[in-house]
Structure 1
Amino acid sequence: MSSENEASSSSPPGQRLSCTPCFDALWFCYSPVHQMQQYYRIGVLDNCSEKWNDLFDCLKLKTKRSTEAQEILETRKKATPHIWTFRTPEEASSNWKEIFGHLDDME
């Protein structure tokens, strides 16, 4: 949904929702460049199911009234968590020890 949300949130209200970015992302997902990147990074080819879901969601939103679609998009945007999670120093310390504590044992 990220490409759909970006496309719709950047457009002014009253403008029609475009599914072109979702379709372009799906098209690129099946490209040899993307598939080889995924295979190199993860070890498996991408089945592009997330891109298909984004395209279907966008097409479903286009069947709704523009005010209703705008409300749905705003609700989704508010529901997505922020990219950064803030921790207290104690939480950060315990998380660091949990992830990298085994390195202290090597010394």
Structure 2
Amino acid sequence: MGTFSPLRILYLILCIVGIILPWRYFLAWFTENGWSLGAMVDAWHANAASSGLVWDLTVAAAALTVWIVHEAYTRRDWLLLASIPATFGVGVSLGLPLHLFLRGRREA
């Protein structure tokens, strides 16, 4: 297992922040509106600005997924695939720094 360089520690910190910040708002929304994922998706498209952000993040998540799959296959490092459910379960804010953190363990 790779060392914990300052850059890998930064990626790990970004993972934690990438979990806390989005879920702080998601949990507040679910508490106020109930645990309906459909209603939350509807809320994401409440106006043109929020719809634009949703599509921006959707394209970023798709590109990140392609990169993760490509790297996992070419490096034969299947642990990198853990970044995919992190991306779609929490968001790009977790998936990207997690992928960089995991990727860094082989480069150290």
- Bigger share in helix: 2
Structure with the bigger RCO (C-alpha within 8 Å, sep 6+) is 2
Larger Rg: 1
Question: Taking structure 2 as the reference length, what is the TM-score of the superposition?
Answer: 0.30
